[in-house]
Amino acid sequence: MLTSLIFCVTPPVLGEEIVNDPELVMDLKWEIGSWTDIWRIEQFKSAEIDAEVSFYIYLPPGYESGNKRYPVVYWLHGAYGRPYSATPIVQRLDAAIRAGKAPEMIVVSCLDPTGLSMWTNSKDGRLPMETLIIEELIPHVDANYRTIPDRRRRAIEGFSMGGYGSAYLGIKYRHLFSSVSVLAGALHTPDTFRERRRAIFDNVFAGDTEYAAERSPWKIIERDANEVRGKIKIRIFVGADDGLLEWNRNYHTLLDKLGIEHEWGVVPNSPHDLEILMQNWEGDFFQFYQSVFASGMSGDAGAE
């Protein structure tokens, strides 16, 4: 079984427009330094924003010399993060694949240029992150790389804000994804956005509680519990010293209440830091994907 990893870069927001920044890709190449040996940088033309969208892709060993097809994991970074925020995972993945201890895969991670999109479409339409990923990036990747274009071989994972995005997008578009991995998810509710994360509440949700609720992992999982139960493999892990522990535990409790099977874990001695979380991870991080891609879950999980 084979898998790959892709990182996409959308143009930054300037004023009221989304404009392409041709320097952005070069800036990212410079910032990641020696990591460029792992990444390939590609682009596609977005019809949604009428601009070039770059993405980073990790291809597993042997991809260039064979004709095998691979599962894909789409990876979402946290607030103000960058595509290479997933490097602590990707470096371990590459080593594990070479050692025969992890499934070969493609993983895709997008850059949110605002750093605060929550991986949904802003109400004012300035940054359609959700649309770019679901309607453009995934079809582009399936058309241009040797993926297995089937929900049973497609997963989504994220850290912090990316954990919110993976829970939201993975459940909402369950016809596209067979698994959701939430790492220290910033699993805020519409109320906590309004009360504690005002910049996000105003800029992403335009101060609209109903709009925020429609894009909430909490509302979606409650609304669609019957369609999710037994159809999607879910894991939620968070550090014992992470300020987001409460929100992750509460989401875990909700899934228990709804009868939705999932993996739950608290990683000892770990604050809100992906590298430390990975260092202190107990067990095999990639076993989750071994089981996801081996079982494939159900082929029919409904559609958005």
Q: What is the per-residue pLDDT across 255-297, written as a single tens digit (0 to 9) for each? A: 999 999 999 999 999 999 999 999 999 999 999 999 999 875 5
Q: Strand 154-159 and strand 179-183: pairing? A: parallel
Q: What's the domain range around 191?
A: 3-295
DSSP 81-97: --GGGGHHHHHHHHHHH
**H or E element in which residue 291 lies:** helix 287-295
Whether 177 maps to a domain, the answer reads yes
Strands, DSSP E only, in 32-71? 40-46, 51-58
Whether 154 maps to a domain, the answer reads yes
pLDDT tens-digit series, residues 8-54: 444 443 333 333 444 434 443 434 433 456 877 778 888 988 888 77
Whether 304 maps to a domain, the answer reads no
The three-state DSSP-derived secondary structure of 254-268 is HHHHHCCCCEEEEEC
- Quote the number of domains for the chain: 1
Whether 301 maps to a domain, the answer reads no
pTM above 0.75, yes or no: yes
